[in-house]
């Protein structure tokens, strides 16, 4: 099991770097869209994961926790912003704004009561992931009601949303189980295999989006 986990981890860490490089190469195609900050998010992800792995090996858990807590805020806020900008329906935009407010309440609550230096902001993460899934569903509904559905295969945001949706739908229950019911066993190692596999699927979707994308007029 440990060997499988190491192989999967090496694959998704390599995918992080590959997708980041491709995002820079393809940047001219989406630099005038709300996704223009995506390379920064991908870079932040690469740094958070590689730095987190390095700090974990050194035993510096507290700084690793701080990095990921800040990452949660940046990552989810960015995608809420993207979907709010890319969805045309005023009613859906309102839902996303309200959801963003709820997410920030969770973050501030964790900031005050959990402490950014001591513990992972698990409630913030779960709230952000759940809200992001909700935003993606709104996005799917909106494209089904527009002409974009005819060219969706070549739309970068569509593939980004597919990757995010598949990952968070699968990982939210795993996150809950690992956080509140964890104990060392083969079952939890198997959950880790699923987690790593979901990350790989997500980044393969991202990669597909970058390779198939066309500039939106």
In this predicted model, what pLDDT tens digit does every residue of 66-101 receive, in sequence order? Answer: 888 999 999 999 999 999 999 989 999 999 999 999
- Give the pLDDT confidence score for residue 4 in this predicted structure: 85
- 61 confidence band (pLDDT: 50, 70, 90): low
Using the predicted structure, report yes or no on whether residue 8 has a pLDDT greater than 70.
yes
Burial class (CB in 10 A: 0-12, 13-18, 19+), 85: middle
| CB-based contact 138:96 (threshold 8 Å) | yes
CA 181, chain centre distance (Å)? 23
For 115, phi then psi, to 5°, come to 90, 115
Domains identified in the chain, total number: 1
The CA distance from 90 to 146, in Å, is 14
| CB-based contact 176:188 (threshold 8 Å) | no
- Give the pLDDT confidence score for residue 190 in this predicted structure: 87
Q: Is residue 217 part of a domain?
A: no
10-36 average pLDDT score: 93
Q: Is residue 100 part of a domain?
A: yes
Burial class (CB in 10 A: 0-12, 13-18, 19+), 159: buried
Using the predicted structure, report yes or no on whether residue 55 has a pLDDT greater than 80.
no
Using the predicted structure, report yes or no on whether residue 217 has a pLDDT greater than 60.
no
Q: Is residue 11 part of a domain?
A: yes
Residue with tokens 């597919």: 162
Q: Is residue 18 part of a domain?
A: yes
Q: Which token pair is 87?
A: 């969805």
Q: Write the CB contacts of 73 (distance below 8 Å, at least 6 apart in sequence).
A: 107, 124
Using the predicted structure, report yes or no on whether residue 2 has a pLDDT greater than 70.
no
- Give the pLDDT confidence score for residue 57 in this predicted structure: 62
Q: Which token pair is 160?
A: 């980004």
Structural domain of 18: 2-212
- Give the pLDDT confidence score for residue 68 in this predicted structure: 85
Q: Is residue 60 part of a domain?
A: yes
The CA distance from 9 to 217, in Å, is 38
Percent of the chain with pLDDT over 90: 61
- Give the pLDDT confidence score for residue 109 in this predicted structure: 94
- Give the pLDDT confidence score for residue 150 in this predicted structure: 66
């Amino acid at each position: 099991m440990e060997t499988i986990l190491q192989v999967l981890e090496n694959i998704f860490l390599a995918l992080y770097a590959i997708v980041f490089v491709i995002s820079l190469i393809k940047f001219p195609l989406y630099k005038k869209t709300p996704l223009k900050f995506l390379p920064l998010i991908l870079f932040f992800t690469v740094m958070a994961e590689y730095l987190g792995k390095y700090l974990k090996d050194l035993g510096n858990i507290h700084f690793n926790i701080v990095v990921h807590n800040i990452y949660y805020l940046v990552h989810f806020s960015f995608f809420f912003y993207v979907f709010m900008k890319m969805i045309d329906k005023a009613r859906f935009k309102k839902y996303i704004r309200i959801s963003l407010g709820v997410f920030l309440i969770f973050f501030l609550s964790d900031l005050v009561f959990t402490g950014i230096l001591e513990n992972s902001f698990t409630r913030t993460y779960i709230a952000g992931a759940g809200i992001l899934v909700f935003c993606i569903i709104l996005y799917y509904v909106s494209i089904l009601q527009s002409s974009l559905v005819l060219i969706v295969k070549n739309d970068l945001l569509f593939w980004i949303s597919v990757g995010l949706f598949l990952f968070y739908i699968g990982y939210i229950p795993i996150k809950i189980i690992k956080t509140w019911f964890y104990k060392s066993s083969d079952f939890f190692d198997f959950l880790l295999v699923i987690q790593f596999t979901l990350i790989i699927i997500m980044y393969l979707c991202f990669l597909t989006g970058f390779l198939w994308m066309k500039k939106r007029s």
